[in-house]
């Protein structure tokens, strides 16, 4: 299975947009939409040495290079998925309990499945991901394989294993995690080479919709202090409002999932400049794929209710001026559905332009890559996608119409010869 998919990718890659030895390539589109969601007064993007050299009109008049005309296609920046679990993968997804299967599969199979997840992610137009909570060094090894060119995939910002009672059991005699305990847990992730520190502030995941606090505010603050001292960014998982106050006080970079935040918490979050990653759509995914996980009608109904609460929280946060970033929380068979989250943002009241921002400038801000990713501007990484429709009229042009994907100046997905291969996920019904 894996060999067939990867061979298919290699065939796509040989189609090429321009000669491999071209120093500068000018890509001419029908329209260009920047990460701000604005239509640029430009049709050309010139790429040189993996970066954008210039954006404008008729660039061939002043720049020597190969011209590639892409009639009818609209360009946008490569998208950023701010919350994935790219190493959660199986060779197949039978009815029953996929979580149990994931816990018994050999590491080698997990790694091969991770490669497929990486390719499926590229096909959605996502060229960068923040991956949160991986074990067995899988995220670090996948990142190395992608960076070396061995495996096609998005650039990965890793966390290693998130700080969680399962990953960090308390020593005998300790009744609750202390500040020193979380400080040391953070130091271990930093020593591993993690780009991010993730703290599970509460319970809650998949069919578990609870939000009971795991750690004290002092412990979370200690983790944040240790992360920042090492130049690392930190995020807190909180399925409800229970760990939000602690995360805000600690000065974390982002908060993921927090359904049901109060207006006071939202205002404080906006004032602190903390980025909100709602991960709305992933509970729709769990409900729609319930047979893979053994989730019956009652669980599926609860998941849809939770989606509705998440949408309302995101709506209030957006109105209050909180920066939102697109995070799919993709696991297992959810890869390929990464950008369905954009539809959830539109359902939450964001305009299509604002939804685009969550996956471009919002994600870049979260990563600290504001001057490198998320825009189609000179000097930025040459990450861009080409879609067949107008995403400002209908966000489905992104979810259903990614024809091509460029990452760091390299064509990684090209479906022009066979548009039927365009990834078109079934984003289902939110609630």
pLDDT tens digits, 296-346: 999 999 999 999 999 999 999 999 999 999 999 999 999 999 999 999 999
Q: pLDDT tens for residues 185-196?
A: 999 999 999 999
Q: Which residues contact 300 (CB under 8 A, 6 or more apart)?
A: 286, 287, 290
Report which of residues 94 and 163 the model is more confident about: 163
Largest CA distance in the chain: 74
φ/ψ of residue 321, rounded to 5: 95, 15
If we measure between CA atoms, which residue out of 14, 84, 116, 74 comes closest to residue 401? 74
Q: Is the pLDDT score of 12 beyond 50?
A: no
User: How many whole angstroms separate alpha carbon 17 and alpha carbon 61?
Assistant: 20
pLDDT exceeds cutoff 70 at 18:
no
- 79-367 domain in CATH 3.20.20.140? yes
Residue 360's closest CA among 336, 344, 379, 384? 384
Domain with CATH 3.20.20.140 in the chain: 79-367
Residue-by-residue DSSP string for 257-299: --TT--HHHHHHHHHHT-EEE---HHHHHHHHTHHHHT--HHH
Instruction: Map tokens 């059991």 to a residue.
Output: 169
- pLDDT tens figures, 235-273: 999 999 999 999 999 999 999 999 999 999 999 999 999
Tokens matching residue 394: 């209908």
What is the 8-class DSSP label of residue 411?
A: E
**Residue 282, Cβ density class (10 Å: 0-12 exposed, 13-18 middle, ≥19 buried):** buried
Residue 241 has what DSSP assignment?
S
Nearest to 336 by CA among 105, 98, 86, 148: 86
Distance CA 241, CA 257 (A): 9
CATH 2.30.40.10 residue ranges of the chain are 2-77+375-421
In eight-state DSSP terms, residue 125 is T
User: What pLDDT is attached to residue 95?
Assistant: 74
pTM (2 decimals)?
A: 0.95
pLDDT tens, position by position, 97-133: 999 999 999 999 999 999 999 999 999 999 999 999 9
- Residue 303 neighbours by CB under 8 Å, 6+ apart: 207, 209, 283, 284, 286, 287, 295
Whether the Cβ atoms of residue 383 and residue 408 lie closer than 8 Å to each other: yes
At 147 the three-state DSSP class reads: helix
User: pLDDT class for 37, splitting at 50, 70, 90?
Assistant: very high
Which tens digits make up the pLDDT trace of 339-393? 999 999 999 999 999 999 999 999 999 999 999 999 999 999 999 999 999 999 9
Q: What is the pLDDT of residue 429?
A: 95
Rounded distance between C-alpha atoms, residue 242 and residue 263, angstroms: 14
Confidence (pLDDT) at 92: 81
B/e letters for 120-140, b = 16+ CB within 10 Å, e = fewer, are bbbbbbbbbbbbbbbeebbbb
CATH architecture for residues 2-77+375-421: Roll (2.30)
- The mean per-residue pLDDT over the stretch 289-298 comes to 96
pLDDT tens digit sequence for 46-104: 999 999 999 999 999 999 999 999 999 999 999 999 999 999 999 887 678 999 999 99
Please check the confidence at residue 400 and state whether its pLDDT lies above 70: yes
Whole-number pLDDT of residue 4: 36
> Residue 20 pLDDT > 70, yes or no?
no
DSSP E strand stretches across 132-246: 155-157, 196-200, 233-237
Closest listed residue to residue 118, CA positions, set 128, 108, 109: 128
Query: Minimal CA–CA distance to 280: which of 311, 255, 304?
Result: 311
Rounded average pLDDT over 5-28: 54
């Amino acid at each position: 299975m894996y060999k067939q998919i990867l061979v298919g990718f290699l065939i796509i890659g040989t189609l090429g947009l321009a000669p491999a030895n071209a120093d500068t390539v000018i890509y001419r589109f029908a329209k260009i939409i920047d990460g701000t969601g604005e239509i640029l007064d430009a049709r050309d993007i010139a790429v040189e040495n993996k970066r954008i050299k210039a954006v404008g009109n008729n660039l061939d008049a002043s720049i020597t290079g190969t011209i590639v005309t892409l009639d009818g296609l609209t360009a946008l920046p490569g998208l950023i998925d701010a919350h994935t679990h790219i190493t959660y993968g199986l060779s197949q997804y039978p009815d029953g309990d996929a979580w149990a299967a994931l816990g018994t599969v050999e590491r080698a199979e997990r790694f091969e499945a991770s490669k497929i997840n990486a390719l499926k992610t590229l096909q959605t137009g996502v060229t960068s991901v923040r991956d949160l909570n991986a074990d067995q060094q899988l995220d670090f090894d996948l990142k190395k394989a992608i960076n070396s060119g061995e495996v096609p995939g998005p650039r990965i910002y890793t966390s290693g294993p998130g700080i969680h009672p399962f990953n960090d059991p308390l020593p005998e005699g300790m009744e609750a995690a202390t500040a020193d305990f979380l400080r040391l847990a953070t130091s271990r992730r930093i020593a591993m080479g993690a780009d991010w520190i993730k703290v599970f502030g509460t319970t809650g995941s998949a069919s578990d919709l609870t939000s009971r606090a795991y750690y004290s505010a002092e412990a979370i603050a200690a983790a944040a202090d240790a992360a920042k001292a090492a130049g690392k960014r930190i995020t807190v998982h909180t399925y409800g409002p229970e760990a939000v106050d602690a995360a805000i006080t600690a000065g974390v970079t982002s908060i993921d999932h927090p359904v049901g935040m109060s207006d006071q918490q939202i205002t404080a979050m906006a004032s602190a400049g903390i980025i909100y990653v709602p991960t709305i759509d992933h509970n729709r995914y769990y409900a729609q794929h319930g047979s893979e996980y053994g989730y019956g009608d009652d669980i599926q109904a609860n998941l849809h209710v939770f989606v509705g609460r998440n949408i309302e929280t995101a709506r209030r946060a957006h109105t209050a001026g909180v920066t939102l970033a697109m995070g799919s929380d993709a696991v297992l068979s959810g890869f390929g559905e990464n950008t369905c989250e954009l539809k959830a943002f539109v359902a939450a009241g964001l305009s299509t332009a604002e939804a685009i921002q969550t996956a471009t400038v919002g994600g870049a801000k979260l990563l600290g890559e504001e001057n490198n990713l998320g825009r189609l501007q000179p000097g930025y990484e040459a990450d861009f996608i080409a879609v067949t429709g107008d995403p400002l009229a209908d966000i489905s042009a992104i979810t259903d119409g990614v024809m091509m994907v460029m990452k760091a100046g390299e064509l990684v997905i090209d479906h022009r010869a066979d548009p039927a291969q365009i990834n078109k996920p079934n984003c289902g019904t939110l609630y």
